[in-house]
Amino acid sequence: MRESRDVFHLAIPVYDLARTEHFYVRQLGCKLARIYDDRITLDFFGDQLVCHKTEAPVGGPPMAEELDLYPRHFGVTFRQAADFEALHYLCVERDLPFFRPLGIRFEGMVEVHRTFVLRDPSDNLLEFKHYADPRMMY
């Protein structure tokens, strides 16, 4: 388990603060915390996500095939299947951009888990997971 009163924080690059707020707050259901000219901060499932305004890459957004889940992505692993399923349902209902649909990884192994990946407006990849065995969450 983790200290519930501490907070993990992650800083990521985003191309447009308004589109970022739209994706994370209006669509994904996170909460907007603080607003500055060059960044916004979010309560992302109880942790802090700091979105720094960055220049978008020249030449427009990459094609899906050009993006790689590895080595960089982030997200939340839910302890309760119901929380994982509620989020997946929200993502489908609100038509959020999926990078990878719902699937299973490490099938046949003790660390088997369900997972799906979203793509935010700045091509950051967000993975959400639920493990069959909670001890495998690390």
Query: Interface with a second copy by CB under 8 A: which residues?
Result: 1-14, 25-26, 29, 31-35, 41-43, 45-48, 52, 54, 69-80, 83, 86-87, 89-90, 93-94, 109-111, 127, 129, 132-138
> Tokens 């990849």 identify what position?
125
50 neighbors 36 (Cβ within 8 angstroms):
no
CB of 99 to a second copy, least distance (A): 13
Of the candidates 70, 86, 65, 67, the residue with the CA atom closest to the CA atom of residue 128: 86
Could you give the CA distance from residue 65 to residue 101 in angstroms, rounded to a whole number?
Answer: 15
CA distances from 7 to 28, 40, 51, 84, 135 (A): 19, 17, 16, 20, 21
